[in-house]
Structure 1
Protein backbone atom coordinates (compact mmCIF):
# COMPACT_ATOMS: atom_id res chain seq x y z
CA UNK A 1 0.00 0.00 0.00
CA UNK A 2 2.79 2.42 0.87
CA UNK A 3 4.61 1.83 -2.40
CA UNK A 4 1.36 2.24 -4.34
CA UNK A 5 0.86 5.57 -2.56
CA UNK A 6 4.37 6.71 -3.40
CA UNK A 7 4.60 5.43 -6.98
CA UNK A 8 1.13 4.52 -8.29
CA UNK A 9 2.25 4.96 -11.89
CA UNK A 10 4.64 2.03 -11.41
CA UNK A 11 2.07 -0.39 -9.96
CA UNK A 12 -0.28 -2.33 -12.25
CA UNK A 13 -2.35 -3.59 -9.33
CA UNK A 14 -2.27 -4.81 -5.75
CA UNK A 15 -3.38 -8.23 -4.55
CA UNK A 16 -3.99 -8.62 -0.83
CA UNK A 17 -3.63 -12.32 -0.01
CA UNK A 18 -4.51 -13.33 3.54
CA UNK A 19 -3.49 -9.80 4.41
CA UNK A 20 -4.40 -6.90 6.60
CA UNK A 21 -6.03 -4.20 4.51
CA UNK A 22 -5.27 -1.07 6.48
CA UNK A 23 -7.26 2.13 6.14
CA UNK A 24 -5.18 5.27 5.98
CA UNK A 25 -3.91 6.26 9.41
CA UNK A 26 -4.37 2.81 10.98
CA UNK A 27 -1.73 0.39 12.23
CA UNK A 28 -1.88 -3.41 11.93
CA UNK A 29 -2.28 -3.48 15.71
CA UNK A 30 -5.37 -1.25 15.39
CA UNK A 31 -6.98 -3.75 13.03
CA UNK A 32 -6.62 -6.58 15.52
CA UNK A 33 -8.58 -4.60 18.10
CA UNK A 34 -11.76 -5.25 16.11
CA UNK A 35 -11.61 -8.92 17.11
CA UNK A 36 -10.96 -9.10 20.87
CA UNK A 37 -11.28 -12.89 20.82
CA UNK A 38 -8.70 -13.26 18.06
CA UNK A 39 -6.80 -16.55 18.25
CA UNK A 40 -3.97 -14.82 16.41
CA UNK A 41 -3.62 -12.09 19.03
CA UNK A 42 -3.75 -14.71 21.79
CA UNK A 43 -0.88 -16.60 20.13
CA UNK A 44 1.47 -13.62 19.86
CA UNK A 45 4.51 -13.62 22.12
CA UNK A 46 6.57 -10.50 22.69
CA UNK A 47 10.37 -10.74 22.74
CA UNK A 48 11.82 -10.02 26.21
CA UNK A 49 13.27 -6.73 24.98
CA UNK A 50 9.98 -5.73 23.29
CA UNK A 51 11.59 -5.43 19.86
CA UNK A 52 9.78 -8.27 18.08
CA UNK A 53 6.82 -10.61 18.18
CA UNK A 54 6.45 -14.24 17.24
CA UNK A 55 3.65 -16.78 17.09
CA UNK A 56 3.70 -19.62 19.59
CA UNK A 57 4.72 -22.71 17.61
CA UNK A 58 1.91 -24.75 19.19
CA UNK A 59 -0.64 -22.29 17.73
CA UNK A 60 0.94 -21.74 14.32
CA UNK A 61 -0.31 -24.95 12.71
CA UNK A 62 -3.97 -24.19 13.40
CA UNK A 63 -3.72 -20.47 12.70
CA UNK A 64 -1.76 -20.55 9.46
CA UNK A 65 -1.73 -24.05 8.00
CA UNK A 66 -5.08 -25.71 8.74
CA UNK A 67 -5.45 -27.36 5.34
CA UNK A 68 -1.78 -28.04 4.59
CA UNK A 69 -0.02 -31.39 4.43
CA UNK A 70 1.75 -32.29 7.70
CA UNK A 71 5.18 -32.19 6.09
CA UNK A 72 4.48 -28.69 4.73
CA UNK A 73 3.28 -27.57 8.16
CA UNK A 74 6.49 -28.78 9.79
CA UNK A 75 8.65 -27.09 7.18
CA UNK A 76 6.72 -23.82 7.41
CA UNK A 77 6.82 -23.70 11.21
CA UNK A 78 10.57 -24.32 11.16
CA UNK A 79 10.93 -21.21 9.01
CA UNK A 80 8.85 -18.83 11.13
CA UNK A 81 10.98 -16.06 12.60
CA UNK A 82 10.24 -13.17 14.98
CA UNK A 83 8.93 -10.05 13.28
CA UNK A 84 10.08 -6.57 14.31
CA UNK A 85 7.46 -4.69 16.32
CA UNK A 86 7.93 -1.43 14.40
CA UNK A 87 5.79 -2.24 11.35
CA UNK A 88 2.91 -3.48 13.54
CA UNK A 89 2.84 -0.11 15.27
CA UNK A 90 3.29 2.03 12.15
CA UNK A 91 0.51 3.75 10.26
CA UNK A 92 0.22 3.92 6.54
CA UNK A 93 -1.06 7.07 4.92
CA UNK A 94 -2.83 6.64 1.62
CA UNK A 95 -4.87 8.94 -0.58
CA UNK A 96 -7.70 8.42 -3.03
CA UNK A 97 -5.67 10.23 -5.68
CA UNK A 98 -2.60 8.00 -5.51
CA UNK A 99 -3.17 4.66 -3.73
CA UNK A 100 -6.84 4.81 -4.69
CA UNK A 101 -5.94 4.97 -8.37
CA UNK A 102 -4.30 1.53 -8.25
CA UNK A 103 -6.60 -1.46 -8.91
CA UNK A 104 -6.91 -3.66 -5.82
CA UNK A 105 -7.97 -7.27 -5.37
CA UNK A 106 -8.42 -9.27 -2.18
CA UNK A 107 -8.11 -13.05 -2.00
CA UNK A 108 -10.56 -13.97 0.77
CA UNK A 109 -9.79 -17.30 2.43
CA UNK A 110 -12.87 -18.67 4.14
CA UNK A 111 -11.00 -21.11 6.40
CA UNK A 112 -8.43 -18.58 7.59
CA UNK A 113 -7.98 -18.72 11.36
CA UNK A 114 -5.38 -15.95 11.53
CA UNK A 115 -7.49 -13.30 9.79
CA UNK A 116 -10.96 -14.74 10.17
CA UNK A 117 -13.49 -14.29 7.35
CA UNK A 118 -15.57 -11.76 9.32
CA UNK A 119 -12.46 -9.61 9.77
CA UNK A 120 -11.58 -9.95 6.09
CA UNK A 121 -15.12 -8.85 5.20
CA UNK A 122 -14.91 -5.86 7.55
CA UNK A 123 -11.64 -4.67 6.03
CA UNK A 124 -12.89 -5.18 2.46
CA UNK A 125 -16.04 -3.16 3.22
CA UNK A 126 -14.18 -0.42 5.09
CA UNK A 127 -11.24 0.09 2.74
CA UNK A 128 -12.66 -1.16 -0.54
CA UNK A 129 -11.22 -3.27 -3.32
CA UNK A 130 -12.17 -3.75 -6.95
CA UNK A 131 -12.26 -7.55 -6.96
CA UNK A 132 -12.73 -10.19 -4.28
CA UNK A 133 -11.73 -13.75 -5.09
CA UNK A 134 -12.99 -16.44 -2.72
CA UNK A 135 -10.90 -19.47 -1.82
CA UNK A 136 -11.86 -22.39 0.40
CA UNK A 137 -8.50 -22.19 2.09
CA UNK A 138 -6.63 -21.58 5.30
CA UNK A 139 -4.25 -18.63 5.73
CA UNK A 140 -1.70 -20.31 3.45
CA UNK A 141 -3.21 -21.20 0.06
CA UNK A 142 0.27 -20.86 -1.45
CA UNK A 143 1.09 -24.10 0.44
CA UNK A 144 -2.24 -25.90 0.49
CA UNK A 145 -3.62 -24.98 -2.94
CA UNK A 146 -0.84 -23.48 -5.07
CA UNK A 147 -2.48 -24.35 -8.40
CA UNK A 148 -5.84 -22.85 -7.39
CA UNK A 149 -4.10 -19.75 -6.07
CA UNK A 150 -2.08 -19.38 -9.28
CA UNK A 151 -5.29 -19.68 -11.31
CA UNK A 152 -6.95 -17.02 -9.13
CA UNK A 153 -4.01 -14.67 -9.62
CA UNK A 154 -4.15 -15.18 -13.39
CA UNK A 155 -7.88 -14.39 -13.33
CA UNK A 156 -7.19 -11.22 -11.36
CA UNK A 157 -4.45 -10.22 -13.81
CA UNK A 158 -6.64 -10.96 -16.83
CA UNK A 159 -9.69 -9.19 -15.40
CA UNK A 160 -11.81 -12.35 -15.45
CA UNK A 161 -12.09 -12.83 -11.69
Structure 2
Protein backbone atom coordinates (compact mmCIF):
# COMPACT_ATOMS: atom_id res chain seq x y z
CA UNK A 1 0.00 0.00 0.00
CA UNK A 2 1.12 3.56 -0.52
CA UNK A 3 2.72 5.71 2.19
CA UNK A 4 -0.09 8.25 2.76
CA UNK A 5 -0.98 6.97 6.27
CA UNK A 6 2.45 8.03 7.52
CA UNK A 7 2.39 11.48 5.94
CA UNK A 8 2.29 13.41 9.23
CA UNK A 9 5.40 11.65 10.51
CA UNK A 10 7.23 12.58 7.30
CA UNK A 11 6.11 16.21 7.53
CA UNK A 12 7.37 16.39 11.10
CA UNK A 13 10.68 14.85 10.05
CA UNK A 14 11.24 17.41 7.28
CA UNK A 15 10.11 20.27 9.52
CA UNK A 16 12.79 19.27 12.03
CA UNK A 17 15.40 19.04 9.28
CA UNK A 18 14.48 22.50 8.09
CA UNK A 19 14.72 23.93 11.60
CA UNK A 20 18.11 22.33 12.27
CA UNK A 21 19.60 22.71 8.77
CA UNK A 22 17.63 25.54 7.13
CA UNK A 23 20.03 25.90 4.19
CA UNK A 24 19.52 22.25 3.18
CA UNK A 25 15.71 22.01 3.04
CA UNK A 26 14.10 24.76 0.99
CA UNK A 27 10.57 23.50 0.46
CA UNK A 28 8.09 20.65 0.43
CA UNK A 29 6.59 19.20 -2.73
CA UNK A 30 3.26 17.39 -2.42
CA UNK A 31 2.67 15.03 -5.33
CA UNK A 32 -1.05 14.23 -5.21
CA UNK A 33 -0.59 13.84 -1.48
CA UNK A 34 -2.35 14.72 1.75
CA UNK A 35 -1.67 18.36 2.64
CA UNK A 36 -2.96 18.49 6.18
CA UNK A 37 -3.02 21.01 9.02
CA UNK A 38 -1.70 19.83 12.41
CA UNK A 39 -4.01 17.38 14.12
CA UNK A 40 -5.82 16.28 10.95
CA UNK A 41 -5.15 12.72 9.79
CA UNK A 42 -5.66 11.19 6.33
CA UNK A 43 -8.60 8.93 7.32
CA UNK A 44 -10.59 12.01 8.32
CA UNK A 45 -10.49 13.28 4.73
CA UNK A 46 -10.59 9.90 3.01
CA UNK A 47 -14.12 9.37 4.29
CA UNK A 48 -15.18 12.60 2.54
CA UNK A 49 -13.44 11.90 -0.77
CA UNK A 50 -16.28 10.86 -3.08
CA UNK A 51 -13.99 10.59 -6.13
CA UNK A 52 -11.57 8.12 -4.55
CA UNK A 53 -12.01 4.36 -4.86
CA UNK A 54 -9.12 3.62 -2.51
CA UNK A 55 -11.27 2.90 0.54
CA UNK A 56 -13.44 0.44 -1.37
CA UNK A 57 -10.32 -1.30 -2.68
CA UNK A 58 -8.76 -2.07 0.69
CA UNK A 59 -8.50 -5.54 2.17
CA UNK A 60 -8.28 -5.64 5.96
CA UNK A 61 -6.61 -8.45 7.90
CA UNK A 62 -7.87 -8.00 11.47
CA UNK A 63 -5.83 -10.91 12.78
CA UNK A 64 -2.53 -9.47 11.58
CA UNK A 65 -3.69 -5.86 12.05
CA UNK A 66 -2.78 -5.03 8.46
CA UNK A 67 -4.45 -3.43 5.47
CA UNK A 68 -3.56 -3.68 1.81
CA UNK A 69 -4.95 -2.73 -1.59
CA UNK A 70 -6.43 -5.71 -3.40
CA UNK A 71 -4.13 -6.62 -6.27
CA UNK A 72 -6.98 -6.76 -8.77
CA UNK A 73 -7.91 -3.16 -7.88
CA UNK A 74 -4.40 -1.69 -7.65
CA UNK A 75 -4.13 -0.78 -11.32
CA UNK A 76 -7.35 1.24 -11.32
CA UNK A 77 -6.51 2.92 -8.02
CA UNK A 78 -2.87 3.83 -8.65
CA UNK A 79 -1.72 3.04 -12.20
CA UNK A 80 -4.62 3.50 -14.63
CA UNK A 81 -2.51 5.21 -17.31
CA UNK A 82 0.72 3.24 -16.83
CA UNK A 83 2.23 0.61 -19.12
CA UNK A 84 1.60 -3.08 -18.49
CA UNK A 85 5.25 -3.57 -17.58
CA UNK A 86 5.25 -0.71 -15.07
CA UNK A 87 1.95 -1.84 -13.56
CA UNK A 88 3.20 -5.39 -13.04
CA UNK A 89 6.42 -4.16 -11.44
CA UNK A 90 4.66 -1.63 -9.19
CA UNK A 91 2.02 -4.09 -7.99
CA UNK A 92 4.73 -6.63 -7.14
CA UNK A 93 6.25 -4.06 -4.77
CA UNK A 94 3.07 -3.25 -2.85
CA UNK A 95 3.13 -4.49 0.74
CA UNK A 96 0.62 -4.44 3.63
CA UNK A 97 0.55 -1.45 5.98
CA UNK A 98 -0.25 -1.39 9.71
CA UNK A 99 -4.00 -1.16 10.23
CA UNK A 100 -3.67 1.67 12.74
CA UNK A 101 -0.46 3.61 12.05
CA UNK A 102 0.80 5.49 15.08
CA UNK A 103 0.80 8.98 13.59
CA UNK A 104 -1.45 10.72 16.10
CA UNK A 105 1.45 11.63 18.39
CA UNK A 106 3.54 12.94 15.48
CA UNK A 107 0.61 14.98 14.21
CA UNK A 108 -0.02 16.56 17.60
CA UNK A 109 3.65 17.54 18.01
CA UNK A 110 3.82 19.33 14.66
CA UNK A 111 3.15 22.98 15.35
CA UNK A 112 1.59 25.41 12.90
CA UNK A 113 4.82 27.40 12.94
CA UNK A 114 6.85 24.39 11.83
CA UNK A 115 4.43 23.29 9.13
CA UNK A 116 4.30 26.78 7.62
CA UNK A 117 8.02 27.51 7.88
CA UNK A 118 8.73 25.91 4.50
CA UNK A 119 7.36 26.99 1.12
CA UNK A 120 4.93 24.40 -0.21
CA UNK A 121 4.35 23.29 -3.80
CA UNK A 122 1.53 21.03 -4.92
CA UNK A 123 1.38 18.82 -8.01
CA UNK A 124 -2.19 17.69 -8.58
CA UNK A 125 -3.08 14.63 -10.64
CA UNK A 126 -6.35 15.21 -12.45
CA UNK A 127 -7.19 11.54 -13.11
CA UNK A 128 -6.31 10.30 -9.64
CA UNK A 129 -8.55 7.58 -8.21
CA UNK A 130 -6.62 7.22 -4.95
CA UNK A 131 -6.91 10.86 -3.87
CA UNK A 132 -9.64 12.62 -5.81
CA UNK A 133 -8.87 15.85 -7.69
CA UNK A 134 -11.57 17.74 -5.78
CA UNK A 135 -10.03 16.73 -2.45
CA UNK A 136 -6.58 17.72 -3.68
CA UNK A 137 -7.95 21.11 -4.69
CA UNK A 138 -9.69 21.55 -1.35
CA UNK A 139 -6.45 20.89 0.54
CA UNK A 140 -4.18 23.22 -1.42
CA UNK A 141 -6.86 25.91 -1.31
CA UNK A 142 -7.18 25.62 2.46
CA UNK A 143 -3.40 25.63 2.93
CA UNK A 144 -2.15 27.80 0.04
CA UNK A 145 1.04 26.81 -1.76
CA UNK A 146 3.68 28.85 -3.55
CA UNK A 147 2.57 27.28 -6.81
CA UNK A 148 0.26 24.51 -7.98
CA UNK A 149 1.05 22.33 -10.99
CA UNK A 150 -1.47 20.13 -12.80
CA UNK A 151 -0.80 16.82 -14.53
CA UNK A 152 -3.49 14.93 -16.52
CA UNK A 153 -2.47 11.63 -14.95
CA UNK A 154 -3.40 8.96 -12.44
CA UNK A 155 -1.82 8.72 -8.99
CA UNK A 156 1.58 7.68 -10.41
CA UNK A 157 2.97 10.26 -12.87
CA UNK A 158 6.49 9.12 -11.97
CA UNK A 159 5.61 6.05 -14.06
CA UNK A 160 3.13 7.38 -16.64
CA UNK A 161 4.55 10.87 -17.27
CA UNK A 162 8.07 11.07 -15.79
CA UNK A 163 9.21 13.81 -18.18
CA UNK A 164 6.31 16.10 -17.32
CA UNK A 165 6.78 15.45 -13.62
CA UNK A 166 10.49 16.20 -13.96
CA UNK A 167 9.63 19.52 -15.64
CA UNK A 168 7.53 20.50 -12.62
CA UNK A 169 10.30 19.57 -10.18
CA UNK A 170 12.92 21.42 -12.21
CA UNK A 171 10.73 24.51 -12.30
CA UNK A 172 10.42 24.35 -8.51
CA UNK A 173 14.17 23.91 -8.13
CA UNK A 174 14.92 26.85 -10.42
CA UNK A 175 12.55 29.09 -8.47
CA UNK A 176 14.53 28.67 -5.26
CA UNK A 177 16.81 31.57 -4.29
CA UNK A 178 20.49 30.77 -4.38
CA UNK A 179 22.16 30.42 -1.01
CA UNK A 180 25.73 30.37 0.18
CA UNK A 181 25.91 27.22 2.30
CA UNK A 182 29.04 28.42 4.15
CA UNK A 183 27.55 31.77 5.15
CA UNK A 184 24.25 30.15 6.07
CA UNK A 185 26.00 27.56 8.25
CA UNK A 186 27.93 30.30 10.05
CA UNK A 187 24.60 31.73 11.21
CA UNK A 188 23.92 28.45 13.04
CA UNK A 189 27.06 27.72 15.11
CA UNK A 190 25.52 24.79 16.99
CA UNK A 191 24.95 22.97 13.70
CA UNK A 192 28.19 24.12 12.06
CA UNK A 193 30.19 22.84 15.03
CA UNK A 194 28.63 19.40 14.72
CA UNK A 195 26.28 19.67 17.69
CA UNK A 196 22.51 19.39 17.42
CA UNK A 197 19.53 20.51 19.39
CA UNK A 198 17.60 18.04 21.50
CA UNK A 199 13.91 18.27 22.08
CA UNK A 200 12.31 17.26 25.29
What TM-score does the superposition give when structure 1 sets the normalisation length?
0.89
Please report how far the alpha carbon of residue 48 of structure 1 lies from its aligned counterpart in structure 2 after TM superposition: 3.0
Please report how far the alpha carbon of residue 89 of structure 1 lies from its aligned counterpart in structure 2 after TM superposition: 5.8
- 1:57 and 2:67 correspond: no
Higher normalized contact order (CA 8 Å, seq sep 6+, divided by chain length):
1
**Cα deviation 1:9-32 (Å, max 9, x = unaligned):** 332111111211122101111121
Q: Which has the larger radius of gyration?
A: 2
Distance in 2, Cα, partners of 1:92 & 1:134: 28
Distance in 1, Cα, partners of 2:63 & 2:143: 34
**Cα deviation 1:56-114 (Å, max 9, x = unaligned):** 11111011001101111111111111012343763624333222010111110101111
Distance in 2, Cα, partners of 1:36 & 1:132: 22
Residue 162 of structure 2 is aligned with which of 146, 149, 154?
Answer: 146
Q: How does 1:12-161 map to 2 (within 5 A)?
A: 12-35=26-49, 38-49=52-63, 51-87=65-101, 90=104, 92-93=107-108, 94-159=110-175
Of residues 35-44 and 130-139 in structure 1, the stretch that sits farther from structure 2 once superposed is 35-44
Alpha-carbon contact 1:4-1:99 (below 8 Å) kept:
no
Alpha-carbon contact 2:126-2:153 (below 8 Å) kept:
yes
What TM-score does the superposition give when structure 2 sets the normalisation length?
0.73
- 1:6 and 2:13 correspond: no
Of residues 128-137 and 101-110 in structure 1, the stretch that sits farther from structure 2 once superposed is 128-137
RMSD between superposed Cα atoms in Å: 2.0
Alpha-carbon contact 1:22-1:31 (below 8 Å) kept:
no
